Amino acid sequence: MDFLYSILVDPFVQMVELPDFFLQVLWEGFVAGVLYALIALGFVLIFKASGVFNFAQGIMVVFAGLTLVGLHEKGVPAYLALILTIGVMGILALAVERFVMRPLVNQPDIILLMSTIGLTYFLVGFGEFVFGGEPKQMITEELGLPTGSTAFEIGDGGLLILQHIDIAAAVIALIMVGALALFFNKTRIGRALRAVADDHQAALSVGISLNQIWAIVWFAAGIVALTTGIMWGARSDVSFALEIIAFKALPVLILGGFTSIPGAIVGGLIIGIGEKVGEIYWGPLVGGGIESWLAYMIALIFLLFRPQGLFGERIIERV
Amino acid sequence: MNARVQHVELHAEDDGLDPGDVMLKVENVSLSFGGVKAISDISFDIRKGEIRAIIGPNGAGKTSMLNVINGFYHPQEGVITFRGQARSRMQPYEAAASGIARTFQNVALFKGMSTLDNIMSGRTLKMHKNFFWQVLNVGPARNEEIEHRLKVEEIIDFLEIQHIRKTPVGKLPYGLQKRVELGRALAMEPDLLLLDEPMAGMNLEEKEDMSRFILDVNNQMGTTIALIEHDMGVVMDISDRVVVLDYGRKIGDGPPEEVKNNQDVIDAYLGVSH
- What CA–CA distance (Å, rounded) separates B254 from B131? 48
Distances (CA, A) of B154 to A180, B148, B187, B247: 31, 10, 9, 41
Q: Which pLDDT does position B134 carry in this prediction?
A: 59
Q: What is the amino acid identity at position B89? A: R
Distance CA B178, CA B187 (A): 14
Task: Look up residue A252 and give its amino acid.
Answer: V
Highest-pLDDT range among A163-167, A178-182, A184-188: A163-167
CA angle centred on A253, ends B114 and A278, rounded to 5°: 135
pLDDT band at residue B7 using 50, 70 and 90 as cut-offs? very low
**Does residue B130 sit at the A interface (CB-CB below 8 Å)?**
no
Whole-angstrom Cα distance, residue A319 to residue A85?
A: 48
pLDDT at A315: 58
Q: Which helix (H) or strand (E) holds A120?
A: helix A109-131
* Structural domain harbouring B156: 44-270
The model's pLDDT over A99-137, given as tens digits with 9 standing for 90+, comes to 988 888 777 888 988 999 999 999 999 988 988 878 888
In a domain? residue A117: yes
Decide: helix, strand or coil at residue A213.
helix
Residue-level pLDDT at B132: 56
Is the pLDDT higher at B19 or at A279?
A279
CATH of the domain at B236: 3.40.50.300
Q: Give the separation between CA B202 and CA B181, rounded to whole angstroms.
A: 14
Q: What is the pLDDT of residue B242?
A: 93
Q: Tell me the pLDDT of chain A averaged across its residues.
A: 84
Total domains in the fold of chain B: 1
Q: Which domain holds residue A140?
A: 23-305
Predicted confidence (pLDDT) at residue B11 exceeds the cutoff of 70? no
Sign of the Cα torsion B227, B232, B235, B238 reads: negative
Domain contains A317? no
The bridge status of strand B85-87 relative to strand B77-82 is antiparallel
Whether residue B196 lies inside any domain: the answer is yes
CA nearest to B258, candidates B273, B238, B243: B243
Q: Is residue B11 situated within a structural domain?
A: no
Partners of residue A195 in chain B, C-beta under 8 Å: 110, 113, 121, 124
B27 within some domain? no
Pairwise CB contact (< 8 Å): B135 & A186: yes
Q: Is the residue at B10 inside a domain?
A: no
Q: What is the pLDDT of residues A207-238, one digit of tens each?
A: 888 888 889 889 999 999 999 889 888 887 88
Supply the DSSP string of A90-108, one letter for each residue: HHHHHHHIIIIIGGGTT--
Select from B98, B90, B52, B36 the least CA-distant residue to B227: B52
Q: Would residue B5 count as lying in a domain? A: no
Tell me, yes or no, whether A256 lies in a domain.
yes
Helix and strand numbers (H, E) in chain A are: 13, 2
The DSSP code for B14 is P
ipTM for this prediction: 0.73
The dihedrals phi and psi of B80, each to the nearest 5 degrees, come to: -120, 125
Say whether pLDDT at A303 is over 90: no
* B57 band by pLDDT with thresholds 50, 70 and 90: confident
Nearest to B135 among A183, A313, A314 (CB): A183
- Chain A with chain B: Cβ pairs closer than 8 A: 95
How many domains, chain A? 1
Q: What is the pLDDT of residues B218-259, one digit of tens each?
A: 998 889 999 998 888 888 889 999 999 998 899 889 998 888
pLDDT at residue A68 in the model: 93
B182 domain residue, yes or no: yes
pLDDT in tens, A191-201: 788 788 777 78
The domain that holds A200 is classified in CATH as: 1.10.3470
Please name the amino acid found at residue B135. Answer: V
CB-CB: which of B102, B120, B168 is closest to A316?
B168
Q: Is B116 within the bounds of a domain?
A: yes
Q: Span B188-205, mean pLDDT?
A: 90
Asked whether the beta carbons of residue A199 and residue B111 sit closer than 8 angstroms, the reply is: yes
In a domain, A315, yes or no: no
